Structure 1
Amino acid sequence: MEKEIDEYELHKCVFNNDLKKLTQILKAKREIIDKKDIHGNTALYIATATGRLEFVCILLKYEATVNIKNVNGWTPLSEAISFGNRQLIEVILKKLKEQTRKSLTKRKESLKVALNQIDDFYMEVKWEFCSWVPLISKILPNDVCKIYKSGSKIRLDSTLIDFNEMKWERGDITFLFCGDNDNSMITALDNDAKCYQYVRTQESEVEIQDEIDLLMMSDIVTANFSTKNVSFTQVKTGWFFREDKKETIAGQYKCDLYHVNGLTLEQKKRREHLNRDDLLKNKTSIVDSLTAKSSIVVDPNIEIPRRTSLSPLQNRNITWEEYINSEPGNYPALAREIVFKRSQKQLKATISMCSDFPLSLDTLLNVFEVIAPLKHFSKLRDFISLKLPKGFPISIHIPIIPTVGAKITFTDFEFRSNISPELFNVPEDYTLDESRFPDL
């Protein structure tokens, strides 16, 4: 085991509270900063979990990656919230947002190149929300999204603004992405109110502090799609002579129908940092809390009382040897004793694959990269990122929540060389309203 102890020298420096040696190692071997130990933890994770703010700041100065999950699905931000020190949470959260912005900027550059390499097109995507509960099924929304692609520009028209749990917002909105602009900014248009808003890439200090308050009073949640056992089985038809089921979609695309097997959603919630009042409030989901918060109008002249840091923790005196010799993922608590519950859901999905659809799956993912601010498109992008059978997923039926599913069908597609440039401009009579879409 001595070899493993030497292998994780950054981690060991944090455990031994040796800041001088940590700095020396980083100067000489900066490339090991994100190295994971047997538990999937980085040195930044351990520094955060033990509340060592000075170590955290040094590691972030050398660009330690914040958004790295360990074998249990937790990140340094998870541990900062659990530890309960407000300054620690702020440092980790701000660095996470900074690194996310840099990553998005890099992806936008590659996205512009990818979009310019394919012909211009028009596409329609039909969303049909449905439920096995009859009364619910009758009130669920449907939508036909229209997507235009010209050069490195994309326009999406939709009537479904948002869909969270059993709440949705209807309207007439447009998303514009103009990749040939220097800032590559996404613009959201409300065509009913004749206003527009840039999708923000940076929050104000007040918004950061609001988010810290919310994190400190909410469950720490991690959710993962388990895809290691995913398989696809072709749907069969016939009683005696079984054969693969085929279907024709949009009157022209012949497809093979598949069942998606072994797709599991695992969710974990931690709450060791919460008080009794928090636990009562958090009977509703964190998504509901976010939605409710975004609708509150706060008087800027009123000072909001902020959540205070939790009481300092006593040193648990866990040694490096005890930690590194533990079973992977089952090490002693470094700070608060973890309180969490786990839930698993088997997701049943079906998918229709077309071998001669004119659009490639990679191109579709590039388009969805742009329109990910729409939450239902973000879920769809995550699903089609799986290793699918050969072809294009022209129709997909996936669960959204236990009682509600969504059927997504690509109903219309054609290459177009005459798409008007005006479609990608904000109309002159529209006004700027930075508060129209609070969640963007």
Structure 2
Amino acid sequence: MAEDVHYCPLHECVFSGDVRRLSGLLRLHDVTKKDKHGNTALHLAVMLGRKECVHLLLAHGAPVKVKNLAGWSPLAEAISYGDRQTISSLVRKLKQQAREQMEERRPNLVSALNQMGDFYMELKWDFQSWVPLVSRILPSDICRIHKRGSSIRLDTTLVDFNDMRWERGDISFLFNGDRKPNLSLTVLDNKAELYQRVRYEETEMEIEDEVDILMSSDIMAAQMSTKSITFTRAQTGWIFREDRKEMVGPFHSEFYVINGMLLESRKRREHLSEEDLQKNKAIMESFTKGSTQGFDNNGEPVRRPSLSPPPESKVSWEEYIGSEPGNHPTLGRNLVYKETSKAFKATVAMSPDFPLSVDMLLNVLEVIAPFKHFSKLREFVLMKLPPGFPVKIDIPILPTVTAKITFQEFAFRNDIKAELFEIPSHYIEDPTRKK
């Protein structure tokens, strides 16, 4: 028998603000359940400003990284509502849940890496834009990846790529799967001869800085829509058309055109005043330079205060649950909303000769996903691709920028040295990161 989507006792409790009953029901009901609008009980608690319900749901492990039918998470709704304490609680919980998920996946990941042969691989990144002149200034990079046992080393000169800003450097990223989680990720700055352990836990100050950024900027949701994607064989030749086949490095490859790829991005800014929007540029610039937006007389950072709450919702549970899926009455602030959608034509070259499988590549990409452009590559590779291995890919990274990624070299090797995965003895710990 199908479950009745209207039967959502946790959601109903949150609506009426009955904290005592909610506490009792949480022992019996699934805190991850969504209603017909895709909202969890946590979504509703945040939208309606029911703080006690929020804390109770978080204490029972309500997921923070979950989207409703409109594509928004509880954190997005909390930013819209504007209660600083709630936003902080959700950010902390989100990080804790991400750590726990990584820990759960880790044993399988380590054993998958151990079972795979050791190898050396080169990936070339070329960033391109259809905007005149921008292509000239975009970076390119060759990433070198060594894998030995359950350890991976990535060498790159492109540290980060975000909103048309990128950082150059000479960076090595080390993952040692046989070490404790808090010692397994290290970043080496080879120019400055410094190393930095990647911490799983942020300091209080870092969390509060992040809350300031969230409260000061647009609520963003961007996703690659893969629903309507189809692959067709790329053609070559003017008169006699035939399927395009080429060598990519040493690999025989067949080229496909990817049709129907959409980059959908959505912005909300109902929580920002006109003054905010003007101040934002200055604040964001100061954050990217590593300082917060100002300090008081005691040297403490000045934090963004909570917004005045939106008017109390007059919507009843019956009106809410009786409305069309994804189209319920407004529960918090009226949305200030902008949606853009851009279609991309992309190509991918698939090779049957490549010695690594797509599943193996996904395990490697999971380790290096902290680099944002690699997480995009991972999203892409998760798509239902034609047979073979994607040795050359065009993927949109930003609405105006496409990355061309080429797997130009790959070899299984049994001579990869253990010292590659060690911190050189003369490197010192980055003093700015010791806190």
Give TM-score, length-normalised by structure 1.
Answer: 0.92
The corresponding residue for 1:330 is: 327
1:353 aligns with 2:350: yes
Please name the residue that 1:185 is paired with: 184
Map of 2:19 onto structure 1: 19
Matching residue of 1:207: 206
Query: In structure 2, what residue type is equivalent to 1:383?
Result: F
Shift of 1:291: 6.6
- Alpha carbons 2:194, 2:428 under 8 Å: kept: yes
**Paired residues, number:** 429
1:35 aligns with 2:40: no
CA contact (8 A) 1:157 1:173 kept: yes
Q: Are residues 138 and 80 of structure 1, via their aligned partners in 2, closer, same or farther at CA, if it must alter by over 3 Å?
A: closer
- Cα distance in structure 1, aligned partners of 2:333 and 2:18: 22
Query: How many angstroms does 1:133 deviate by?
Result: 5.0
Q: Distance in 2 between matches of 1:27 and 1:130?
A: 53
Range with bigger deviation, 144-153 or 184-193: 184-193
Point out where structure 1 has 5 or more consecutive residues left out of the alignment.
Answer: none
Q: Which letter does structure 2 place at the counterpart of 1:382? A: E
Q: CA deviation at 1:185?
A: 2.1
SS in 1 for 2:359: helix
Would the aligned equivalents of 1:225 and 1:265 in 2 still touch at CA under 8 Å? yes
How many Å separate the matches in 1 of 2:367 and 2:384?
21
Tell me how far 1:312 sits from its aligned partner. Answer: 3.0
1:36 Cα deviation from its structure 2 partner: 0.6
Q: Paired residue for 1:9?
A: 9
Question: What is the Cα deviation at residue 18 of structure 1?
Answer: 1.8
Partner of 1:106: 104
Aligned 8 A contact 2:178 2:184 in 1: no
**Equivalent residue of 2:27, what SS?**
helix
Provide the C-alpha distance between the structure 1 equivalents of 2:126 and 2:326, rounded to a whole number of angstroms.
41
Distance in 1 of aligned mates of 2:135 and 2:239 = 35
User: In the TM superposition, what whole-angstrom CA distance separates every residue of 1:99-154 from its partner, at most 9, and x where no partner exists?
Assistant: 11111222222210110111100111111223345633333222111100000000
Deviation at 1:402, TM superposition (A): 4.1
CA spacing shift, 1:138–1:428, aligned 2, 3 Å:
same
C-alpha deviations, 1:149-199, integer Å up to 9, x for none? 000000011111122233222221100000011225210001110001111
- In structure 1, what is the Cα distance between the partners aligned to 2:385 and 2:396? 17
Name the Cα RMSD after superposition: 2.2
Cα drift, residue 437 of structure 1: 12
- Calculate percent identity across the aligned residue pairs: 53
Q: CA deviation at 1:314?
A: 2.9
Give the SS at the match of 2:394.
Answer: strand
Classify the secondary structure of the residue corresponding to 1:206. helix
Determine if contact 1:197/1:435 at 8 Å carries over to the other structure: no
Deviation track 1:364-384 (CA, whole Å, cap 9, x = no partner) reads: 111111111222212211111
- The one-letter amino acid of 1:16's match is S
Task: For residue 64 of structure 1, report the CA deviation from its aligned partner.
Answer: 1.0
Q: Structure 2 residue aligned with 1:174, among 168, 172, 175?
A: 172
Greater alpha carbon shift after TM alignment, 130-139 vs 118-127 = 130-139
Compute the displacement of 1:207 (Å).
1.3
Secondary structure at 1:27's aligned position in 2? coil
Q: 1:140 to 1:369 in 2, by over 3 A?
A: same
- 2:310 aligned with 1:296, yes or no? no
Comparing 422-431 with 337-346, greater Cα deviation is found at 337-346
1:264 deviates by 0.8
Report the Cα distance in structure 1 between the residues aligned to 2:349 and 2:77, rounded to whole angstroms: 41
Letter in 1 for 2:213: L
Instruction: Specify whether residues 134 and 213 from structure 1 end up closer, same or farther in structure 2 by C-alpha distance, changes over 3 A only.
Output: closer
TM-score by length of 2: 0.93
Which sits farther off after the overlay, 42-51 or 392-401?
392-401
Q: Provide closer, same or farther for how the CA distance between residues 87 and 401 of structure 1 changes in structure 2, counting only shifts above 3 A.
A: closer
Structure 1, 375-384 or 116-125: larger mean CA deviation: 375-384
Contact 1:189 1:197 in 2 (8 A): yes
- CA–CA distance in 2 between the matches of 1:417 and 1:383? 30
Please give the secondary structure, in 2, of the residue aligned with 1:363: helix
Question: What runs of 5+ residues in structure 2 fail to find an aligned partner?
Answer: none
